[in-house]
Each structure stands twice: as structure tokens, then as C-alpha cells.
Structure 1
Amino acid sequence: MAREAETHADIPFGPEDTPWQKTFSGLRVVGGRPYGTPPSSDPREAYIAVPEVPHHKVQLPPTGLDANQYTEAEALFRSHIDTQTRNFAGYQVTSALDYEGRLGHYLNRHLNNVGDPYQSSSYTLNSKVLERAVLDYFASLWHAKWPHDPKDPESYWGYVLTMGSSEGNLYGLWNARDYLSGRPLRTDPRQPGRETAAGQTPRDAGAHAFHPVAFFSEDTHYSLTKAVRALDIDTFHALGSTRYPDDNPLAPGTPWPRQVPSTEHGAIDVEQLAVLVRFFASRGHPILVSLNHGSTFKGAYDDVEAVARTVRGICAQYGLDSRRVRGESGGPEERSGFWVHVDGALGAGYTPYLEMARDVGMVQQAPPAFDFRLPDVHSLTMSGHKWMGTPWACGVFMTRTGLQMAPPGASEYIGAADTTFAGSRNGFSALLMWDYLARHSYDDLVRLAARCDDLAAYTHTRLLALQERLGRDLWVARSPQSLTVRFRQPRADIVRRYSLSGETVHADGAARAYVHLYAMRHLTRQRVDELIGELRQPGAFPRSP
């Protein structure tokens, strides 16, 4: 074993391929042996290679990198990222960013928005004053009642996310689980300021009254699957497969589907959702539905209004539209027995401007309403790095004050209620979002939304023309008002050069390997034409085996 360790200690490491054990300074050698464990194998062979950035050039020996080594390593990485940025076309993020000149100063400042956005904190290095301005902006854009008022249950409550909409989905489902499970809310809406704790069975309830069931479509972002697992929320598939294995209402005697089926365009199938919801509502289960406003791959928009109307109607038949839950004091509290969450990672930041563009005749159509205009929308999330564009993931979560779950515990240390998912939150994200919104008017963003919609239509048209020219079905498709166009997966080097996201889609009984392109604001017709030119070349699309 000692001999093996010595051999591993001789593995070349760092920019100069120095044996690992010889990369230590005298202060880090104890009893003749380096501090820490040697590599168990050569990391250059263990990890996926990035040809433009050789791994040994960026390895970090205990001595660090000298000035020349650092300059070379950073130059390699910069060149790689700049090249990929120029061609970046396959994901729903905006890479045309220009924050450095205005906000570079803050990279040498610590900004941490720990705790509730609407409470001051003893941690004074925060950007909460900007965060509140950003949240008010989106509350108005999404037709919520604002400003936030802790005494008004109809006013909005929300916060700026550190992880993007994946965090917003996790928090929204957490809030939904606690609400539907009869757990405490932050305040009693009828008596502001008094904490309540629900725990009694609602009227006319059975054994499943506090056992919510989650529903989401097969086109839903993968973070939902992680969220329900982390939160221990039963999906209709899990509960149906274990308790009612032969009773799948969509096809009795067959296995339950893992998610709610989608339409051809990627929107949730409302009729099939209704069948599944009715099955569990009739057995007394509270209903938790997560919808997409711009699905990840197809960019589809679920009909939130139709779903909310359908779910409410079914729940009303089984006493789940409104039910009484008693708090610790014994007083009744009215809650619905269903929750509708909207994942608007891209769409919630984009379609309000497209709707404005439609209203002034700049575009013909816009997706259906998804926001707090609909009284049965309980929570909503959006990613800031997608439509607006930020250097890292961030976003917004929003609900109504009267629906807000109680914080899990006291937080005297930070001087503010611990109402958000994370403890520390990136205060720089609120600054970036504030900066972007301060510099772009509604008119600016309406024009930009119309331009991106036009670019998506242009891309769709060019790919259809290419398909006709090649005489081969490239499976070209664009869901209504989507910014993404999907098509047959081309050669691997083209996929990598343009960072085209891929997904296997089952159609006509066969598995199809698709990629898609997103018409974000950094993309141009010139770049689309360059891609089409490459796709036109012989061998661009490998023949199916």
C-alpha cells in the first residue's frame, strides 16, 4: 500500500508535469512527506477532456501558479469561453452581457442578502433595497398586488433566487406541500401578525386529507423530479403504482405513466390531466399541479387558465376547492385543497413583453395568461439568466402573502426572518437584475421580444427550406410562439460548436434524436445562416443506423 502511494505521488501534475510529491514547498512537507493524499490515478485520464484547455495547464499545485503559468492558463480558458459564446445557440440563456464596465466595482465587495427581503438585517452588506425594487417590478409585470404588505394576504411575497428557477420550483413545491398538508402558515390572514399552526382534519375529510399528490407533464424540467424526491412528495405515478397498480384511469390494467402526457407541441394534455386529477381528488387527496410557461426543450406553454379552471372544478366536486383547517388556537382557517405552481423559467420573463407587442400590432399572437391575473395561480418562478441575461444563475420566486409557509425556525443571528430557501443569498444577483431593468424600458423590451419572435420564425423557415433542399425529413418543428426550433441531431462537431442541446423524443413509435436552437437576443440572422450553411454540407446529418 505504501509503495502504491509512492507510485501515485510520482504522477505528473500541473503545468510543468512535475511529480505530484515535488510540487510542495518546504512549509507543506511534514516528516518528509507531503501534506494531504496523493492522486489515486492521473486526473488527466480520469476526466472528460476539453481540447482547448488541457487539464494539466489549469491544475492547481500546492505552490499555486506563477505569473506566466497563470497568464497561459487564463488565456486558454478565456479563448475557449469567448469562442463558445460567439456560437452559443442551443440553450435558453442570453449571452450578450455588458455589466463589467458599470458593476465591476462590486466584485470587490461582499453582497449577501441573507434572510427575508423585506426585513433589515444586522448583516448590512446587502442589496435588499435593490432586491425590493426588482420584486416590485415583477409583481406589477405579473399582475400581483404590490407593494408587499405583511398585513395584506392578497399582496405578493417573493425573493430573488440564488440558483435560478430550479430553486424556485423547489421552494414553490415546498410551500405547496406545507400548505396542502395543513402545516403552519406564516401568519393568520384574519389576524395579521399571529402565527398559526394547522393540524386538524378539514371538514368532510378522509384519511388522505393531508396527503398531497403532484402532477406535472412529460415535458417538465428535470428539476421537478428532483424536487418532489427531496421534499418526499408523492407523484401520481408513485402513489398510483404502489396503491392502485391496476387502476390507471388512462388505460386500466396498464402501468401508470410517469408524468402527465403532453400534446404534440409539448403542452400538458388538459383532458388527460383531468382524468388523473379526478382519480385522486375523488379519494380525498389534495392536488398539486406544476405547469410550464415555456418548457425546456420544446418551449411549449401550458394553458394555465384552462388547467386552473379544470382543477378547481374537479376539486369543487369533492370538497377540495375550499376547506377548513383549524389552528392551534382552535379557530378555523380556509384553505383550498389544490395548488397551481408555474415554472416560467424563460417564459415569465419574456412573454409579458410579447403580449404587449401583440397588443400594439407588432406580432400576431402571444401565449395564454399564466400569472396572478388568474386567482388560482398560487406561485410562480422565473430565471434571470435566461431572458434578461446574467453571468450566473438567478431568478425570482413569487406567491401571495397569505399563502406563505412559516419559517422553519428562529434566526436571531442574522436579524431577519429566515423565510427563503437558502441561508446566504447572492446579493450580486439583485444588483444585476436591477441594473438590467433600470436600463431597459418596457418599450425596449417589447421591441426585443418582437425581434426574437421574428428570429425564431426566420430560423424555422430556413430549416424547413433546408429540409426541402436536402430531400430528407429533418423533423423541423416549432411550438406556437416558442423561441426554440427543434430538428434532427447533426454531426457531433456541429453540436459542440454551437452548443446545441439534445433530447430523445418518441414520435410515431420511434425514438428520434433531436437538437434545438434558441432565438435569444444575442443570436443573429448571420449566425443562423452560418449554421444552416454547415447543415447543408454533405455528411452534416449522419444516416440512421
Structure 2
Amino acid sequence: MVKRSGGLDCKPLRARYYLIPSTNSLEKLFRISVQALRISFKKPIDSVTISGHKFLGCPFPCGVLITRLKYINALSRDVEYIASRDATITGSRSGHAPIFLWYALKKRGLIGLENEVHECITNARYLLNQLRDAGIGAMLNEFSNIVVFERPFDDHFTRRWNLASNGNIAHVVVLKHITIEMLDTFVCEFIQKRSIWSKDGQFQLPCIASDVGSRNCACSIHSLSRNY
């Protein structure tokens, strides 16, 4: 069981488990914010995965896996034709990925990455506030650029904005190419669509409390309960 509340706590379980904290947000990777969650192998985690094609923008899918030596030893094997032990999952790896990752890091530098992360986090908070001001249930975790909100009622609208959705929720990952103007347009269209959906008398605000918590849900039940 993993509980995150200002830190990473792991409750011992009798069942076998493998804990992987994903660090696709570069803020956690570079520990840019001193208040951000520190990922460390001093905690009972087993590996850390880092995407290179999301925030850094490598032109092909790639990433970095950092894991404990015991797992590498269990996977690795002697390979005769390279005269060494092979620890890769597929038996081979691309030589281009580390070059592109190095170039992306070198070109931006720590200050450049810090500015990009700050912009993404700021814009994500802006989107959260705009949605909430419009009466749309939404949630944003601290030090995150992923805004979760109630799923739009119209599949055409969802496809137009290429929203990732599941059940009653959808989410937007606010990256550096997302501008305030784009966010304003998205929220404005969302509000207009909700107004159209509500006119048919069948539309009801979805309850997303089980996904994002009751305080982030804008359905009639939880909105009413907050007024008392």
C-alpha cells in the first residue's frame, strides 16, 4: 500500500509487491523545487522510471530505468559475443537515446529546465483555477502538471482536444507548448458545451469524488455538502 501525503510512506505487506515511482515530471527528476517530493532509494522503492520523450521531447520513445542491483543481477547474463554481461531487457539498446538525452539536457541547462518546469506548473494551476471558477470539478496534485477534471459529455469534444479519459474523468498534461490562450479557448468551449448539454434535461454533472476526492467534485451532492 502506498500513501502519499507530503511524502512517500510504504506500509509493509505480506503480499509480494514491486514499487515504481514514475518521475515523468522533470521537477521531481532534477529536484528543482526544494519542497518537492524527494525520490530516494533510502525509501523502500524498487526502481525509478524517467521518460525522455515527454518533457525533454526526444523525437522517439525512450527512457531511463534506475533499479536496485539485485534486480539487475537477476536479469543479466553473460553474452559471449560482447565478452561481458548484458543487463538490458531486450538484449539490445539504442545508442541514439543517450545522445539525444544528453543534447536536450546540455542545450537547456539547469536554469532553462527550471524555467520550463515553472511555466508548466504555473499554467497547470491556471487551468485548475479556470475550471473551478466555471463550476467544473477539477484536481491538481502539488508539484504536478497534470490536471484531472470531469469527463466531457460529448465524445466529439473529447476527440477534438485529444483528451485522455477514463470513466467519469479526463486529464490534461500541461507541457511547455501549451499556452494560456489555448487553455482559455479550451475552458471557454468546455463551458459552452456544458451549457448545450444541460438544455436537453438529461445531462447531470458526473460525480468524480471517488477519483479526485469530494472537495474537488462539483456534482450537486458534494457542492451542496460544502455549503453547510
TM-score for the superposition, normalised by structure 1: 0.33
What residue is the counterpart of 1:476 in the other structure? Answer: 138
State whether residues 484 and 516 of structure 1, in contact with CA within 8 Å, keep that contact through their aligned partners in structure 2: yes
| Pairwise CA RMSD | 2.9
Distance 1:496 1:515 in 2: 12
Q: Which residue does the alignment assign to 1:525?
A: 180
Task: Name the residue aligned to 2:47.
Answer: 379
Q: Which of 13, 21, 24 is the matching residue for 1:343?
A: 21
Asked which structure has the greater RCO (Cα within 8 Å, sep 6+), the reply is 1
Q: Aligned ranges for residues 131-280 of structure 1 at < 5 Å? A: 268-269=2-3
Aligned counterpart, 1:451:
119
Looking at structure 2, the residues matched to 428 and 340 of structure 1 have their Cα atoms a distance apart, in angstroms, of 29
TM-aligned CA distance change 1:478 to 1:406, over 3 Å: closer
How far has the Cα of 1:401 moved from its partner? 4.0
Q: Counterpart in 1 of 2:190?
A: 535
Partner of 2:65: 397
Q: Measure, in 2, the Cα distance between the counterparts of 1:342 and 1:420.
A: 18
CA change 1:538–1:498 in 2 (3 A) is: closer
Cα deviation, residue 540, structure 1: 6.3
Once the two structures are superposed, residues 324-371 of structure 1 have per-residue CA deviations (whole angstroms, 9 ceiling, x without a partner) of xxxxxxxxxxxxxx8763331413x33244x43x44xxxxxx432222
Task: Give the match for residue 160 of structure 2.
Answer: 497
Q: Whole-Å Cα distance in 1 between the matches of residues 108 and 76 of structure 2?
A: 38
- Kindly provide the CA deviation profile for residues 141-187 of structure 1, in whole angstroms up to 9, marking residues without a partner as x: xxxxxxxxxxxxxxxxxxxxxxxxxxxxxxxxxxxxxxxxxxxxxxx
Q: Which amino acid aligns with 2:166?
A: E
Q: CA deviation at 1:538?
A: 4.3
How many residues of Structure 1 are paired with residues of Structure 2 in the alignment?
198
Gap regions ≥5 residues in structure 1: 1-259, 261-267, 271-300, 316-337, 360-365, 468-473, 505-512
Tell me the residue number matched to 1:303: 7
**Deviation, structure 1 residue 459:** 0.5
CA 1:479–1:522 in structure 2 vs 1: closer, same or farther (change >3 Å)? same
Q: Report the equivalent of 2:96.
A: 428
Distance 1:516 1:375 in 2: 29
Would the alpha carbon gap of residues 458 and 407 (structure 1) be closer, same or farther in structure 2, given more than 3 Å must change?
closer
Give a deviation string over 1:179-203, Cα, whole Å, max 9, x none.
Answer: xxxxxxxxxxxxxxxxxxxxxxxxx
Query: Residue by residue, what CA displacement relative to the aligned partner does 1:359-407 show, whole Å, maximum 9, x if unpaired?
Result: 4xxxxxx4322223x2544422111112212222211011344663244
Deviations 1:514-542 (A, max 9, x none): 11111111111111011112112145674
Cα distance in structure 1, aligned partners of 2:171 and 2:70: 40
Identity %: 23
Residues 371, 540 of structure 1: CA spacing in aligned structure 2 closer, same or farther, 3 A cutoff? farther
Give the letter aligned to residue 24 of structure 2.
L
Partner of 2:36: 367
SS in 1 for 2:86: coil
Give 1:458 shift: 0.5
- Equivalent-residue separation in structure 2 for 1:540 and 1:345 (angstroms): 38
| Structure-2 change in CA distance of 1:411 and 1:487 (3 Å) | same
Cα shift at 1:498: 1.5
Aligned equivalent of 1:419? 87
Counterpart AA for 1:502: S
Q: 1:455, CA displacement in angstroms?
A: 0.7
Separation in structure 2 between the aligned mates of residue 528 and residue 416 of structure 1, nearest angstrom: 52
SS of structure 2 residue aligned to 1:477: strand
- Contact persistence 2:131–2:187 (CA under 8 A): yes
2: distance between equivalents of 1:404 and 1:486? 35
